[in-house]
Each structure stands twice: as C-alpha cells, then as structure tokens.
Amino acid sequence: MLLIDLHRHLEGALRVATTLELAHRYGHPLATAADPEALLVAHGPLGGLVPYLEKVDAAPSAFRTPDDWQRAGREAVLDAAADGLDRLELRFSPWFIRQETGLAPEAVIDAVADGVAAASHEAGLPVGLIGILLRDLGPAHGDAQVATLLSRRGLFCAVDLAGNEAGVPAAEFAPAFRRARDAGLHVTVHAGEAAGPASVWAAVRELGAERIGHGVRSAEDPALLDHLAAHGIACEVALTSNLHTSVAASYATHPVKRLLAAGVPVALATDDPRTSGITLSGEYETARTEAGLSPADLQRIAADAAKAAFGTR
C-alpha cells in the first residue's frame, strides 16, 4: 500500500528542535517562553481553527534567512521519507512567510525549492510543491500572490487558498485562480473545515478546485457528496487536525466514514505534522484503530490518494 500525503503545510511541519535552535540564535520570543512546546504543539481539542492556526503560525518567524528556509524544506522532506512516504505534496505561503520574516517571497520560494530538491534526491522521495494564496490578505492581493508563484512557475504543481475559511469569500479570489489555471497549475482549496458545505461549493464552482483541503463538512449536504463523488473531487482528510480544530468531536464520529460511504475520494493527510504531533503512518493506524476504518477502506484511500496526486511539476 502506497503512503502518500497530499496535504502537508511546510509552516506546520517545521521541526520543534530546529525552531527552538533558531529562536535562541536570533533572540526570538520562543527562546524565553516558559513552555515553548505548548505554543507550537496541540495536545487536544482547541475549540476552533483559529487557535490551531496560532500554533502553526508561532514557528515561521524564527526562520529568518533564506538558508533557514532551505533547511526547513530539506528537513520536511527527510521527515516524510523517514516515515516511509512514497510521495509528498508540500504546500506553503511565500507571502505569509514574507509577512512573518520580511524576506522577499521569491527568495523564500527559491530557498524552499532548493532544500526540497536536495532532500528529494537524497531520499528518493518524489515531492510536489503547492503555492498557497493567503485568504486573510484579501482579494486585493490575490493577483500579486499568484504573480509571485508564476514567477517561479516551474517549481509548482498547484495553487491553494488557505487561512481563516470563515473570512473573505472564495469567489473574490476567482480572477487570481483563473490566472493560475490558465498557467497550467492544478487547484486545491481549503474548504469544508471551519465553514460548511457552501464553502466547498464555492471552491468547486468559483475557483475550479480539483481537490478539497479537508472538506469533511461536505457530509452535511447529500447533493454535495453526490457532486464530489461524480466528479472525482478528492477530500484531503486530516483526522487528528480535525480533532484539534474541533471540526470533529472524536475519531469515532469523524465524517470520514460518510464521505467514503457516499463514494467521495478520500486521501488521508497530516495537515500540520509538527503542530498535531503526528505522522502519516500514524494517521493510517489511527484511522484503523480509532476511526474504525477497515483494511479495505484504507486500501481504497491509498489508491484514491495516488489517483488524486497532481505530480511533481
């Protein structure tokens, strides 16, 4: 069975040890925090997406130079390889990193891509990069964010929209995503996590999403489930992250079974492995032991992930 992660954020995969090493080097506030790990890692439900994103966002500002981001890309790939992955799609937001560090987003892309390429070659792990547009910056910056990604078009296989899903409507980013699609980039969109089925419909209809990041609240709309199944639109499902954001109350009641029963393609993913303290192999075991998925379910999920992969470039 292939082990493929299609939804992993670089910003949420930064090693705790590396983050704290750099925090001490640069005098970052994490260096003097009483319990820095508690600021970086979730240890149970947090009551919503925003508190979870605060833990994701606590680390990137400790990575101050392009060399730090080259190291970040390299370590993220090596960690995935150590977990036995057969393929990884790694996503990040150059503009968010600029916001946190002051680095030029183009320099961030080049550094991450160099680190990823070196580790991919070293570990023999195919890696595709996905560029994120940050929803929180608003649609006025959508075109500029896409322009940044397209300035390095050869490094990316897809584009994504992420951030506070309950914020700016996805439709307002339609022009930016049209430009990305016209340039040949695939599209995945965060939806159906902090907001309901309407968010998923907007991702598909307005942005041309071929995959949905999370998408678990699609289970609330039978017509949407039918549409996702009929069009082969995969949901990138992150079980433990969904518990930490309180999208799901427990593994046993997680909507993944309803997605599978409706014929929706599902790809298990980590989302933010550092923030959630998980691995993809561990998520497959959790799916079996805690969520009650059968070996046949897991085989199908692995096959769905392989089919839904966008490719390395």
> What phi, psi does 9 have (nearest 5°)?
-90, 130
Nearest to 193 by CA among 167, 173, 228: 167
pLDDT digits (tens, 9 = 90+) for 112-149: 999 999 999 999 999 999 999 999 898 989 999 999 99
**Angstrom distance (rounded) from CA 92 to CA 90:** 7
Q: Please state the rounded mean pLDDT for residues 30-46.
A: 95
Say what the pLDDT of residue 26 is.
98
What's CA 109's distance to the chain center, in Å? Answer: 16
Say what the pLDDT of residue 312 is.
58
Say what the pLDDT of residue 313 is.
47
Cα 235–Cα 241–Cα 246 angle in degrees, nearest 5: 100
- Residue 225 makes CB contacts below 8 A (sequence gap 6+) with 218, 219, 258, 259, 262, 263, 264
Say what the pLDDT of residue 87 is.
98
Q: Please state the rounded mean pLDDT for residues 248-275.
A: 97
CB atoms closer than 10 angstroms to residue 26:
15
Active site residue 193: yes
Percentage of the residues of the chain whose pLDDT score is greater than 70: 99
Residue matched to tokens 């518990």: 243
Residue 127: Cβ-neighbour burial (10 angstroms; 0-12, 13-18, 19+): buried
pLDDT digits (tens, 9 = 90+) for 162-203: 987 777 889 999 999 999 999 999 999 999 998 899 999 999
Q: In the chain, what are the domains?
A: 4-308 (3.20.20.140)
* Catalytic residue of the set 165, 193, 210, 236: 193
Strand order in the sheet with 127-134: 4-9, 87-92, 127-134, 158-162, 186-191, 211-214, 234-237, 266-268
HEC string for the chain: CCCEEEEEECCCCCCHHHHHHHHHHHCCHHHHCCCHHHHHCCCCCCCCHHHHHHHHCCCHHHCCCHHHHHHHHHHHHHHHHHCCCCEEEEEECHHHHHHHHCCCHHHHHHHHHHHHHHHHHHHCCCEEEEEEEEHHHCHHHHHHHHHHHHCCHHHCCEEEEECCCCCCCHHHHHHHHHHHHHCCCEEEEEECCCCCHHHHHHHHHHHCCCEEEECHHHHHCHHHHHHHHHHCCEEEECHHHHHHCCCCCCCCCCCHHHHHHCCCCEEECCECHHHHCCCHHHHHHHHHHCCCCCHHHHHHHHHHHHHHCCCCC
The residues that bridge with 148 in the sheet, in sequence order, are: none
Percentage of the residues of the chain whose pLDDT score is greater than 90: 93
pLDDT digits (tens, 9 = 90+) for 48-87: 888 999 999 999 999 999 999 999 999 999 999 999 999 9
- pTM of the predicted model as reported, rounded to 2 decimal places: 0.96
Say what the pLDDT of residue 103 is.
98
